[in-house]
């Protein structure tokens, strides 16, 4: 009988424990004597270039790749479990690959940020979550008030980042913080975006 594949997506803000959860699932697969390969996007070199690394120092060896085609070049045909870190940096080819691997009976574990510092959907993560059999959404602790945090606060020179600043800036904890909905801030939000947001809130409050 053909093995039943699965696509699991681990998402959340920075400092929510996504890498720890990915490593935990990889370790379980290794205990089950599955052949596992772990990949990460090469943009993430904050702690270790050839490892998935958590903020508390845990690491797991990984193959750094710059795109989906490079990942395919390193993927062995007999691999049973494929784990991918920092999925938000990849293009849509990764979504197709993950679906094809799961359809072929492989277990695919993907981790990434579901929102950017503006609280907007980040890259391909919404597509991956839509195709997933399981979505594990993790929350961190807000550094400002101590409540559960679902958002990533980008800081530039100690100040909240502006809306029009680059989305991707790979950095350690002096560039990012986990914050709750109330404490998260973005400077210079475009008036047009605020207007659309308010219009959506008004429509949601209208009685049919």
Q: Which of 52-61, 134-143, 173-182, 194-203 has the lowest mean pLDDT?
A: 194-203
Q: How far apart are CA 167 and CA 184, in angstroms?
A: 16
The residue among 25, 207, 35 whose CA lies nearest residue 110 is 25
What pLDDT was estimated at residue 167? Answer: 86
What pLDDT was estimated at residue 173? Answer: 45
> Which residue reads 């959340």 in tokens?
12
pLDDT of 171 higher than 60: no
What pLDDT was estimated at residue 172? Answer: 43
What pLDDT was estimated at residue 190? Answer: 84
What is the CATH class of 6-205?
alpha beta
What pLDDT was estimated at residue 60? Answer: 83
Q: Which residues are catalytically annotated?
A: 86
- pTM of the predicted protein model: 0.87
The pLDDT tens digits of the residues spanning 91-119 come to 999 999 999 999 999 999 999 999 999 99
Pairing mode, if any, of strands 59-61 and 51-53?
Answer: antiparallel
Give the pLDDT mean for 158-184. 83
pLDDT of 129 higher than 60: yes
The pLDDT tens digits of the residues spanning 34-49 come to 999 999 999 876 666 6
Domain spans in the chain, listed from the N-terminal domain onward: 6-205
pLDDT of 86 higher than 80: yes
The pLDDT tens digits of the residues spanning 26-79 come to 999 999 999 999 999 998 766 666 778 776 767 789 999 999 999 999 999 999
Q: How far apart are CA 185 and CA 152, in angstroms?
A: 10
Starting at the earlier edge strand, list the strands of the sheet with 6-12.
63-65, 36-41, 81-85, 107-113, 6-12, 134-138
């Amino acid at each position: 009988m053909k093995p039943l594949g699965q696509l699991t997506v681990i998402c959340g803000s920075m400092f929510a424990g996504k890498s720890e959860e990915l490593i935990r699932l990889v370790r379980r697969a290794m205990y089950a004597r599955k052949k596992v390969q772990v990949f990460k996007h090469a943009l993430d070199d904050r702690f270790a270039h050839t490892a998935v690394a958590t903020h508390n120092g845990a690491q797991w060896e990984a193959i750094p790749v710059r795109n989906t085609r490079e990942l395919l070049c390193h993927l062995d045909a007999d691999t049973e479990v494929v784990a991918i870190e920092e999925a938000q940096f990849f293009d849509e080819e990764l979504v197709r690959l993950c679906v094809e691997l799961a359809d072929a009976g492989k277990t695919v574990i993907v981790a990434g940020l579901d929102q950017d510092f503006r609280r907007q959907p980040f890259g391909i993560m919404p597509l991956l979550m839509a195709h997933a059999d399981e979505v594990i959404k993790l929350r961190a602790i807000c550094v400002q008030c101590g409540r559960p945090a679902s958002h990533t606060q980008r800081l530039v020179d100690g100040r909240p980042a502006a809306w029009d600043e680059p989305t991707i800036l790979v950095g350690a904890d002096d560039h990012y913080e986990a914050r709750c909905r109330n404490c998260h801030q973005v400077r210079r939000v475009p008036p047009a975006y605020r207007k659309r947001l308010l219009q959506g809130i008004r429509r949601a409050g209208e009685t049919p």
